[in-house]
Amino acid sequence: MHARMRRLADARWKGLFAALFLGALAALGQAPLGFYPVSVIAFALGLGLVLEAGSWRRAGVLGWALATGFFGVGWLWIVEPFLVDIRRHGWMAPFALILLAGGVALFWGVAAGVAARVRSEWRWLALPAALALAEYARGWAFTGFSWGGPGLAWIDTPMAQLAPWIGAQGLGALTLVGAGALYRAIYGRVTVAAWLAGLAVFVGLGIWAERRPLPPTPEDAPVLRLVQPNAPQHLKWDPDWIMTFFERALAASSAEAEGGRPDLVVWPESSLPALLGQAPAMEARAIAAAAPAPLVAGVLRRDGATYHNSIVFFDGPGEPEWVYDKHHLVPFGEYVPFGDLLSKVGIRGLAQQEGFGFSGGPGPVIRTLPGALGDVVPLICYEAIFPRDIRGAEGRSDWLMQLTNDAWFGTFAGPQQHLVQARFRAIEFGLPLARAANTGISAMIDSRGRITASLPLGAQGFVDARLPAPEPPTVYARWGDWPVIALLVAILGTLLFTARRKTR
């Protein structure tokens, strides 16, 4: 069996397609399927294929193929934005998916090639460590894209509760190390008993973390109303439909509920259908519909020649009390990278400073709300996939708030995966998170990532939910990813140094 795997690894096309297939299987652990046992087994065999490669170049190619299959299937929702206007943009959909998955997979390819330099008896550990570091790198490079890592598959298991110490990325590192060890166990290089003992420790820690006492939600905790107008993306800015969706949001905001009026009304991303300050009568209607509760809403705004994707807070009629501008923008979705630089050499039409695309705000912040609502970190859509966009806010908030428009992501995997990311942010920081989404899934999430109230995908209306209590600052909130990164660097560096000394 071992010899057969080695022959497959070095078979030019068969090995490549095997790695692609195993990566695709590993993606089945992602939402909405959540087949995490399949994911672990597929990763074990996929890593085994890379480990058996006859050269570092071949290992790099197989690592790239494994990642391309994993990201290609996990990110199938990437095609959805191009299908909103299928006649104009539909032809770009497959190219966008292939180029993004294959491009990001280069991180894994380089990591696999580096790990192949380690002595064979320790390569099973070096490869997961290198791939985990590649995952951290892709979360930072070129503003980062940390969507869909291996650790996210554990969201509905006790192991997710290790995130307050090591984060979702750390869970991904553990997943890859466990998969590498499983491959060793399959071929008898470590005993199955040893692998099972490691698994038992992993699961046991997760169960212990899950059973820790949770601060109860006070009976007088603020009630938030999360409004979901359900505006499909292809109709959202259609002049014939704009007022329909606005009226839906107004009706949901003013509706009487069994528990009485909420303490805060939250509308999703870009739900006010005009630039901030350009339609004061519409803003007044929205404020009146939420009254006597204050209103948080997503809106687009203009500041001179630049445009911002923003959140505004109204505490009664008049000007907003505060405005938050999204700072972590989507490359090629909300702006074109280097557009401002290109404008200086005569290539215009891409520059943010000239109103093409959005301009980013100054950075993550904590905003204060009245009374028991306390302090909140506002996040717009994409920002919730980056833990550093929460850690970057100075101080400690009482909760997190995400306004998003997941209509761009379709109805299958994208919205569910985005929700999983938000749930992990709540777990990592020990903070509740309120999420208002245009087409869903709107939800109140407690500090353990559990959904306490929600409105399903494609539904229209609102959900009222009490704001759960926060927990004390977590280890991850204090230190972020750096302890795990340092450990991985130490492991990989030691193994590479040892291999170099042996070759002298």
How many angstroms separate the CA atoms of 56 and 130, rounded?
Answer: 13
Helix (H) or strand (E) holding 342: helix 339-343
- DSSP lists the bridge partners of residue 323 as 312
How many angstroms separate the CA atoms of 368 and 376, rounded?
Answer: 6
| CB-based contact 66:143 (threshold 8 Å) | no
How many angstroms separate the CA atoms of 200 and 178, rounded?
Answer: 11
Catalytic residue among 80, 135, 283, 326: 326
Closest CA to 136 of 496, 498, 487: 487
Closest CA to 113 of 502, 496, 498, 503: 496
Closest CA to 66 of 112, 7, 100: 112
How many angstroms separate the CA atoms of 26 and 306, rounded?
Answer: 42
Annotated catalytic, 381? Answer: yes
Catalytic residue among 381, 383, 428, 471: 381
Residue 101 CB partners (closer than 8 Å, separation 6+):
67, 68, 71, 72, 75
Encoded tokens for 260: 């009485």
Catalytic residue among 52, 80, 135, 269: 269
How many angstroms separate the CA atoms of 47 and 333, rounded?
Answer: 33
Parallel/antiparallel/unpaired status of strands 451-455 and 442-445: antiparallel
How many angstroms separate the CA atoms of 173 and 295, rounded?
Answer: 41
Cα distances (Å, whole numbers) of residue 3 to 6, 22, 125, 324, 451: 5, 19, 20, 59, 48
Encoded tokens for 194: 């040893």
150 phi-psi bin (left φ>0, alpha ψ -120 to 50, beta other) = alpha
> Which residues are designated catalytic?
269, 326, 381
